């Protein structure tokens, strides 16, 4: 499946759609990172994972495009995380080799932790009754695992050999690293954590309210069904049995016309105004067709609308049974990664609240009726990106607590040094989301809705809600954050006060 030349007519449609996302994300990364090599790193990470995943797992064209958008978004997050660490180490005077080693050492826990959580969540998604979502879950688990492997091998080598050339022609490590907007935001989180946490939670709850009344549109389209009889042990039904079966089908409420066609009977539906076609199929059509079958035979009803009705039923079952299981597994995995269930509950609840708000914002802008599987795609994309940035934020707080800072100060530092990469990563994710909506015909016209739905709630969760909750947490959480911090403890210039990496921010006196 060739990527080059771009938009080749010989490329399959799914590859051409992925090419659109790749070009859009790479162009946006070039504008944000201002370096061609840095802009190509996310593509270099995500491409092998995507190719292997689609080779091992059968996905339809739409799900291949969704997989590419998710993997590219995660790769952008990994690259931005590592480059920000690398830039910090260069600023404090480390040479190229030491800066690369320290960057990957400090970023490794958040990157691997994110991948473990996502692999577990994707693996649970593989249990879905909906075939497309189950296949996407398997492909995501494979792709995320491969992305982690490539990230931990290719990125360190690239930084070690390229050094500061990865930023060329920009030289961001030579600037003072002032972050006025992030500093003001961190001051508010540290000085008024209660206000920030409550305001963020209320905002997310309000944004997520439309998700409670959002429903998927399965676009039944054709109202023509096909019914047939299947005899016991493969016996062929007689003509009399088919004639009697057709006569009984004609009496079913909602069936407008019966057209016999060989051993099959064509049913042309004529539902009453206001009647949902899929409800009609799942209810009277199937029940009455089963009753109309002669003794010793079984009625089989098929057609596009029938398959959509089955899809809606399977999706409803997944929503009520599988979604709680995925949430539970993610919380347990977060507890293992973050070494504390209280921290996992706080961060997990924040991520779930953000995912619900993402769906709410999408439906608020795009309409309360969204085409299937757009609601599932929004939830998966926002949850995956939200988990990644949240784990990074908590890891940053852990570094500060391990260095002896109070939780409020550590949370403020985490916001100060992570807000920039988070916003940049979310901007790249929104570009991927807009390209995804443009590349999938069923999602056409929903690009802005998906972009706003992913960006706004995730930014609020990562930069405001999670740091404020951690700042407010008690001694047990502080002990968990401080426990096992030796891998993140700085033994270089930062620990001795020569760097601004662990310097206490100036907190406002208000509140």
In sequence order, the β-bridge partners of residue 230 are 298
Q: Write the pLDDT tens digit of every residue in 207-253.
A: 989 988 888 877 656 677 777 777 766 667 777 777 787 787 777 77
Identify which of 186, 196, 116, 117 has the alpha carbon closest to the alpha carbon of residue 149: 116
Name residues whose C-beta falls within 8 Å of residue 103's C-beta, 6 or more positions apart in sequence. Answer: 82, 85, 86, 88, 89, 159
At 504 the pLDDT is: 45
Its pTM stands at 0.80
What is the count of structural domains for the chain? 2
Cα(90)–Cα(389) distance, rounded to whole angstroms? 23
Residue 389 lies in a domain: yes
User: Is 196 in the same domain as 228?
Assistant: no
Say how many Å lie between the first and final Cα of the chain, rounded. Answer: 59
| Locus of tokens 């409420």 | 253
User: Is 327 in the same domain as 295?
Assistant: no
Say if residues 97 and 167 touch (Cβ distance below 8 Å).
Answer: no
User: Is 159 in the same domain as 261?
Assistant: no
Residue 428 lies in a domain: yes
Chain centroid to CA 252: how far? 44
Residue 403 lies in a domain: yes
Which of 279, 302, 325 is the last residue before a domain boundary? 302
Q: Write the pLDDT tens digit of every residue in 160-185.
A: 788 778 888 777 666 655 567 778 88
Residue 500 lies in a domain: no
Query: Residue 293's domain spans which residues?
Result: 224-302
Handedness of CA 290, 291, 292, 293 (dihedral sign): positive
Strand 224-231 relative to strand 264-269: parallel, antiparallel, unpaired? antiparallel
Q: Write the pLDDT tens digit of every residue in 258-301.
A: 777 767 777 777 777 766 777 777 777 777 788 878 777 777 88
Instruction: Give how far Cα 323 sits from Cα of 210, 308, 316, 352, Å.
Output: 18, 21, 10, 11
User: Is 348 in the same domain as 449?
Assistant: yes
User: Is 75 in the same domain as 52?
Assistant: yes
Q: Write the pLDDT tens digit of every residue in 431-487.
A: 888 888 777 777 877 888 888 888 888 889 888 888 888 888 755 555 555 554 433
CATH for 235? 3.30.70.100
User: Is 96 in the same domain as 204?
Assistant: yes
Q: Nearest-5° angle of CA 177, CA 179, CA 184?
A: 150
User: Is 232 in the same domain as 124?
Assistant: no
At 506 the pLDDT is: 44
Cα(337)–Cα(344) distance, rounded to whole angstroms? 9
User: Is 298 in the same domain as 316?
Assistant: no
Say if residues 414 and 467 touch (Cβ distance below 8 Å).
Answer: yes
Percent of residues, the chain, with pLDDT higher than 90: 6
User: Is 52 in the same domain as 201?
Assistant: yes
Residue 26 lies in a domain: yes
Which of 245, 268, 302 is the last residue before a domain boundary? 302
| Locus of tokens 């593989």 | 126
Which of 271, 302, 333 is the last residue before a domain boundary? 302
User: Is 162 in the same domain as 272?
Assistant: no
Compute the mean pLDDT over every residue in the chain, rounded to the nearest whole number.
Answer: 79
Q: Write the pLDDT tens digit of every residue in 356-410.
A: 898 899 888 888 788 888 888 888 888 888 888 888 888 888 888 877 788 888 8
Number of residues in the chain: 511
User: Is 354 in the same domain as 480?
Assistant: yes
Residue 198 lies in a domain: yes
Low-confidence winner among 95-99, 345-349, 421-425 (lowest mean pLDDT): 95-99
Residue 502 lies in a domain: no
User: Is 391 in the same domain as 242?
Assistant: no
Percent of residues, the chain, with pLDDT higher than 70: 86
Residue 200 lies in a domain: yes
């Amino acid at each position: 499946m060739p990527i080059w030349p771009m938009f080749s007519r010989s490329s399959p449609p799914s590859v051409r759609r992925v090419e659109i996302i790749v070009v859009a994300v790479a162009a946006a990364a070039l504008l944000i990172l201002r370096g061609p090599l840095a802009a190509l790193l996310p593509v270099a990470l995500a491409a092998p994972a995507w190719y292997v995943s689609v080779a091992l797992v059968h996905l339809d064209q739409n799900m291949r495009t969704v997989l590419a958008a998710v993997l590219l978004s995660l790769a952008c997050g990994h690259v931005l995380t590592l480059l920000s660490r690398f830039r910090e180490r260069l600023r404090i005077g480390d040479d190229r080799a030491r800066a690369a080693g320290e960057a990957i050492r400090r970023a490794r826990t958040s990157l691997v932790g994110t991948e473990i959580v996502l692999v577990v969540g994707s693996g649970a998604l593989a249990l879905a009754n909906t075939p497309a979502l189950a296949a996407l879950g398997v492909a995501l688990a494979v792709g995320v695992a491969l992305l982690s492997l490539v990230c931990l091998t290719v990125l360190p080598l690239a930084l070690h050999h390229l050094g500061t050339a990865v930023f060329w022609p920009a030289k961001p490590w030579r600037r003072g690293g002032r972050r006025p907007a992030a500093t003001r935001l961190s001051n508010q989180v540290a000085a008024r954590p209660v206000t920030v946490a409550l305001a963020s939670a209320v905002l997310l709850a309000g944004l997520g309210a439309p998700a409670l009344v959002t429903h998927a549109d399965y676009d039944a389209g054709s109202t023509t069904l096909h019914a047939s009889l299947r005899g016991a042990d493969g016996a062929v039904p007689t003509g009399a049995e088919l004639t009697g079966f057709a006569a009984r089908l004609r009496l079913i409420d909602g069936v407008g016309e019966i057209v016999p066609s060989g051993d099959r009977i064509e049913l042309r539906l004529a539902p009453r105004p206001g009647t949902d076609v899929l409800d009609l199929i799942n209810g009277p059509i199937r029940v009455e067709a089963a009753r109309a079958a002669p003794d010793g035979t079984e009625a089989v009803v098929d057609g596009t609308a029938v398959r959509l009705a089955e899809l809606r039923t399977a999706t409803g079952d997944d929503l009520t049974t599988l979604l709680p299981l995925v949430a539970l597994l993610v919380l347990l995995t977060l507890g293992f990664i973050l070494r504390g269930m209280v921290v996992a509950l706080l961060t997990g609840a924040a991520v779930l609240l953000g995912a619900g708000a993402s769906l709410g914002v999408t439906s608020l802008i795009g309409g309360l009726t969204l085409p299937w599987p757009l609601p599932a795609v929004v939830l998966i994309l926002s949850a995956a990106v939200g988990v990644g940035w949240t784990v990074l934020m908590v890891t940053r707080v852990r570094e500060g607590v391990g260095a002896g800072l109070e939780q409020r100060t550590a949370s403020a530092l985490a916001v100060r040094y992570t807000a920039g990469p988070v916003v940049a990563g979310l901007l790249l994710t929104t570009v991927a989301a807009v390209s995804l909506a443009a590349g999938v015909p069923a999602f056409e016209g929903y690009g802005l809705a998906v972009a706003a739905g992913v960006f706004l709630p995730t930014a609020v969760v990562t930069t405001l809600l999670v740091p404020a909750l951690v700042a407010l947490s008690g001694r047990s959480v502080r002990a968990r954050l401080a426990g096992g911090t030796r891998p993140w403890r700085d033994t270089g210039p930062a620990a001795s006060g020569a760097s601004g990496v662990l310097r206490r921010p100036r907190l406002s006196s208000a509140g």
